[in-house]
Structure 1
Amino acid sequence: MTTESQNPDLIDVIISDHRQVEQIFKELESSPSPEVRKQLTEHVITELVRHSVAEEQHMYPAARRVLDDGDQIVDHELQEHAEAEQVMKDLEGLDAGDPEFQRLLNTLISDIRHHVDDEEKDLLPRLRAACTQEELRDLGAKVVKAKERAPTRPHPSAPDTPPANKILDPGAGLIDRMRDALSGRES
């Protein structure tokens, strides 16, 4: 294996995550079964939380560092993450047959699609231009590793910026994975 295939760069990792989430959204939109929709919703929440945590730990600090308007961009991205995380938290306690479940799910899908579109059209190309390939591969490896230890459930009141998130996220992730195992929820 080449180094590049072993260490995909940040942009490739983020876009791959975006495609995975979009595939789950399409399955959600075509599934009439409430039980399947609930399972898919739990799965997409896990993936979104892990993805967001990794972005907050590594991609956003890099954007703040290398982009002239990085603080403004990252603050906007973090606000979008916070809003989505609250929707995910609200979804957790609802039955898939509840009309509120579908309303919140539609909101989440719409908001995430908007967020992905913004990142792929603006932030990611700008990061590719501003960082060296070595930096992007290093960030990609860090994001992959962060996702492995990240929480699997939304924690809207948890810190979303370093250093607090880098310290607390792995512990929350461990507890979430234990809860997932005990409840039979896939993570």
Structure 2
Amino acid sequence: MDGRPAERGGRHGRTGQGPPYAARRPAGPGALAQVGPWGAPSDRAGRRPGRSTADHPPSGGSKVPERADLIGELTAEHRAIDALFDGIRAAPPGGPERKRLADDLTARLTRHAEAEERHLHPAVRRYVADGAAWVERERADHGRIGGILREVADRGPEDPLFTRSLVSLVEQVSLHVLEEEQRLFPRRRAGCPPDVLRDLGGRLRADRVPPTVPVGPPPHGTWGARLLRAVLGTAPAGRRR
């Protein structure tokens, strides 16, 4: 492999060689219970295929070090998203709790994408081989995920298409996270000076507020800004508490 991002295709899918456990499943009332947080069925102990409990702590139980670098901060956010997936699966289908958790997930994913575009992508362009191609691929992912989030926001929990959209969301976010953690983050850590990573981690922490509290303005034209306009009605003009 030459380290460059592979080709993708389809509105909610990819072509080329992706993670081996990202197979599609039909969406139905129980579909979310069958899809593990990484796009594959969880085993009976709740572990994810291809990862040990040592390098993948249980959902909601991971702790980010106080001075984590950028990769540590983003990885901790991935685990928080993982925990929301688990909560959505456990919520009764068609009920208000699943919708509430889906709204929480929308807010968290919006902030996470904004953080990646603000802090990760410029550093990838500078320090990673074929960085521009990686950023283009990341932004395409964000566009696909944003489209599915709009579908989720537009539908009530009793709508069968709501569950179908949630299944698509789990799959797309899972593929995105896997590629970042298995391919992009190692390249980022190898190519970027540690002090730069630590500085970027500090900047991300300084920007962070609870995921349901708007903060802004995000960089003009970013996926975070576009999604805030689509889902919340407008991009925030400034920080609100």
- Give the TM-score of the pair, scaled to structure 1: 0.78
Q: Which has the higher helix share?
A: 1
Unaligned runs of 5+ in 1: 179-187
Q: How many residues align?
A: 165
Alignment of 1:17-28 (within 5 A): 17-28=77-88
CA contact (8 A) 1:149 1:173 kept: no
Q: CA deviation at 1:176?
A: 9.6
Counterpart CA distance in 2 for 1:94 and 1:86 is: 13
Which residue of the partner structure matches residue 154 of structure 2?
Answer: 93
- The alpha-carbon deviation at position 122 of structure 1 amounts to 0.7
Residue of structure 2 in register with 1:14 after alignment: 74
What do residues 4-23 of structure 1 show as CA deviations (whole Å, max 9, x unaligned)? 95431011101100000011
Query: Hey, what does 2:100 align to over in structure 1?
Result: 39
Code of the residue aligned with 1:23 in structure 2: it is A
Choose from 55, 58, 62 the match for 2:116.
55
1:81-131 Cα shifts (integer Å, max 9, x gaps): 011011112211211110111111110111000000000001111111111
Q: Distance in 1 between matches of 2:214 and 2:173?
A: 17
User: After superposition, what is the alpha-carbon deviation per residue over 1:42-87, rounded to whole angstroms, capped at 9, x for unaligned?
Assistant: 1111111001001001101100011121000110010000110111
- For residue 65 of structure 1, the aligned residue among 108, 126, 133 is 126
CA distance in 2, matches of 1:74, 1:110: 20
Separation of aligned partners in 2, 1:133 and 1:127: 10
User: Could you say if the C-alpha distance between residues 173 and 125 of structure 1 is closer, same or farther in structure 2, counting changes exceeding 3 Å?
Assistant: farther
| Distance change (3 Å), C-alpha of 1:70 and 1:149 | farther
Q: 1:76 aligns with which of 134, 137, 141?
A: 137
How far off is 1:152 after superposition? 5.2
Q: 1:176 to 1:31 in 2, by over 3 A?
A: farther
Given residue 222 of structure 2, which amino acid in structure 1 is its aligned partner? D
With over 3 angstroms needed to count, the CA separation of the structure-2 counterparts of 1:144 and 1:173, relative to structure 1, is farther
RMSD: 2.9
Q: Which residue of 2 aligns with 1:181?
A: none
Residue 172 (1) aligns with residue 172 (2): no
The whole-number CA distance in structure 2 between the counterparts of 1:106 and 1:177 is 32
> Alpha carbons of 1:109 and 1:89: their partners in 2 closer, same or farther (altered >3 Å)?
same
- How far, CA to CA, are the matches of 2:133 and 2:111 in structure 1? 23
Unaligned runs of 5+ in 2: 1-63
Alpha-carbon contact 1:67-1:130 (below 8 Å) kept: yes
TM-score (norm 2): 0.62
Q: How does 1:71-150 map to 2 (within 5 A)?
A: 71-148=132-209
